[in-house]
């Protein structure tokens, strides 16, 4: 197997230009070091950092937009695509090896089972979709709604978090509304009250983020879903920033539907998403895209995966990313993100020239922190960090910068960012 891998990589090097390969083809990316070590100190996290092909001397702080893919995952994708392009003629499509060539027609029960254990549900309640926007649209376009029904978002949705609901309102004559979130949001009750202030007897759907993308606020979704259930309101949670970032237990939360983009915090390849719909309500959701199994009632999650030919190499990478996550461990992974986020916020709180727009209530915070520096615009602050220390967060709006930290980051990198910010006061 190892010889085949080296042969394929060497062959690929001969056929492709170097810029197409973003990681060292001679390195043996393996989970073995992670399996044989205990996450007890910073030395462990330095070893984790070596699992990423990120360029040395540069620091990536924009995981909220796109998570970098671990070398192990890239290797699995690369090997799969190369091998099955070479060995295409050996695939017996009729007898079970079709998924080696393409996706879109197969249930992928093993991967869905792995994901179901992460978010706590039956694998048949999970659909593999491209991203959170796909999940939102599958739910929104599948609901039976009528003219006059009210749909409720917040005023802090990601740009991809409100489109389906606005389209649905325009198409079916529904009333689209937004609840105004407190800013900064430090009181869960204030968030809850802001949402239900907009609810009326006509409200049929509450569709809100589990984590607000711009500010990183972890919403009190369990309490919102419980109240919505009492009122007979369908709940949809935008978890684009959540799986692999905070604990997601859909049964404990009590939502009707949940979707996520795993190219962010689970560090899966772009195009890796999931949609959960509770088995008690999934029968009310029409299929949006119809193919062979569009009316499969035995496996409703598979029913909503009928989307035609896709990239089987991508699916191999998706599966590898879940294995990478599970090897480090759910609680260890989530805990490290929280630890680094707190380290950044604790430092920023000491600076009088810094305004933190994210929640400073640690119950409502995790790996995303949005803040501003007096006298500087967001783009200016981003430019300064890059020019001085090759640090790359993301400016949001005119006055803010969003700083995302993940397991490949270190406290030393965060300290360098704090030193830059501190010098601007």
At 36, the pLDDT band (50, 70, 90 cuts) reads confident
Confidence band, pLDDT 50/70/90 cuts, at residue 37: confident
Cα–Cα distance measured from residue 367 to residue 374, given in angstroms and rounded to the nearest whole number: 23
Asked if residue 262 lies in contact with residue 272, where contact means CB atoms within 8 angstroms, the answer is: yes
Contact 396, 372 (CB under 8 A): no
At 162, is the pLDDT very low, low, confident or very high (cuts 50, 70, 90)?
confident
- Overall CATH class of domain 107-322: alpha beta
Q: Do domains 107-322 and 331-422 have the same CATH topology?
A: no
Q: Which residue has the tokens 């409720």?
A: 152
- Residues near 422 by beta carbon (within 8 Å), at least 6 away in sequence: 351
Q: Is the pLDDT of residue 74 over 50?
A: yes
pLDDT, tens digit, 9 for 90 and up, residues 263-283: 999 999 999 999 999 999 999
Q: Match 């919102």 to its residue by tokens.
A: 224
Q: Region 145-159: what's the mean pLDDT?
A: 94
- Model-wide pTM > 0.75: yes
pLDDT exceeds cutoff 60 at 7: no
pLDDT for res 1: 42
Q: Is the pLDDT of residue 88 over 50?
A: yes
Query: By mean pLDDT, which of 24-33, 46-55, 128-137, 196-205 is the weakest?
Result: 24-33
- Do 110 and 316 meet the contact criterion of CB atoms below 8 Å apart? no
Model pLDDT for residues 397-424, shown as the tens digit of each residue: 889 999 999 999 999 999 999 999 999 9
Quote the CA–CA distance of 322 and 330 in Å, as a whole number.
10
State how far the Cα of 61 lies from the Cα of 393, in Å rounded to an integer: 4
Mean pLDDT of 192-215: 97
3-state DSSP assignment of residue 180: coil
Instruction: Identify the band that residue 54 occupies on the pLDDT scale cut at 50, 70 and 90.
Output: very high
Is the pLDDT reported for residue 94 higher than 80?
Answer: no
CA 18 from chain center: how many Å? 29
Taken as a whole, the chain contains a residue count of 425
The Cα 148–Cα 176 span in angstroms is: 10
Ranking 101-110, 197-206, 319-328 by mean pLDDT, the lowest is: 101-110
Q: Hey, where are the domains in the chain?
A: 107-322, 331-422
Q: What is the CATH number of domain 331-422?
A: 3.90.1150.10
Distance between CA atoms of residues 153 and 179, nearest Å: 6
**Helices vs. strands in the chain: H and E counts, helices first:** 15, 15
SS3 state of residue 207: strand
pLDDT band at residue 24 under the 50/70/90 scheme: low
Q: Please, which pLDDT band fits residue 22 given cuts at 50, 70 and 90? A: very low
- pLDDT tens by residue, 355-389: 999 999 999 999 999 999 999 999 999 999 999 99
- List pLDDT tens digits, range 95-120: 777 888 889 889 999 999 999 999 99
pLDDT of residue 102: 87
């Amino acid at each position: 197997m190892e010889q085949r891998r080296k042969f394929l990589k060497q062959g690929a090097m001969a056929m492709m230009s170097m810029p197409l390969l973003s990681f060292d083809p001679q390195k043996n990316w393996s989970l073995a070091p992670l399996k044989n070590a205990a996450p007890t100190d910073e030395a462990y996290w330095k070893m984790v950092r070596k699992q990423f092909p990120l360029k040395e001397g540069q620091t990536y702080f924009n995981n909220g937009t796109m998570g970098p893919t671990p070398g192990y995952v890239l290797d699995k994708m690369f090997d799969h695509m190369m091998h099955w392009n070479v060995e295409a003629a050996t695939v017996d499509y009729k007898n079970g090896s079709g998924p080696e060539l393409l996706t879109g027609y197969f249930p992928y029960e093993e991967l869905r089972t792995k994901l179901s254990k992460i978010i706590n549900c039956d694998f048949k309640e999970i659909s593999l979709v491209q991203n959170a926007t796909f999940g939102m649209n599958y739910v929104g376009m599948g609901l039976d709604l009528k003219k006059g029904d009210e749909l409720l978002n917040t005023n802090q949705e990601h740009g991809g978090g409100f489109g389906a609901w606005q389209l649905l309102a325009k198409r079916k004559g529904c009333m689209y509304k937004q609840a105004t979130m407190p800013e900064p949001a430090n009181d869960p009750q204030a968030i809850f009250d802001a949402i239900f202030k907009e609810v009326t007897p006509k409200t049929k759907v509450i569709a809100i983020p589990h984590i607000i993308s711009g500010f990183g606020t972890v919403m009190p979704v369990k309490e919102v879903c419980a109240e919505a259930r009492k009122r007979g309101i369908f709940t949809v949670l935008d978890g684009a920033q959540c799986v692999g970032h905070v604990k997601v237990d859909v049964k404990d939360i009590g939502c009707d539907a949940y979707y996520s983009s795993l190219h962010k915090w689970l560090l899966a390849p772009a195009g890796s998403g999931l949609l959960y719909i509770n088995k008690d309500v999934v029968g009310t959701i029409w299929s949006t895209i119809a193919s062979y199994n569009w009316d499969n009632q035995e496996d409703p999650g598979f029913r909503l995966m009928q989307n035609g030919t896709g990239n089987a190499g991508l699916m191999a990478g998706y599966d590898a990313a879940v294995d990478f996550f599970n090897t480090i461990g759910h609680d260890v992974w989530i805990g490290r993100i929280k630890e680094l986020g707190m380290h950044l916020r604790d430092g920023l709180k000491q600076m009088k020239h810094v305004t933190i727009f994210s929640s400073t209530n640690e119950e409502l915070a995790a790996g995303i922190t949005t803040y501003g520096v007096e006298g500087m615009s967001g783009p200016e602050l981003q430019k300064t960090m890059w020019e001085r220390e090759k640090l790359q967060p993301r400016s949001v709006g005119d006055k803010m910068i969003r700083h995302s930290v993940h397991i490949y980051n270190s406290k030393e990198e965060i300290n360098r960012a704090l030193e830059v910010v501190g010098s601007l006061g």
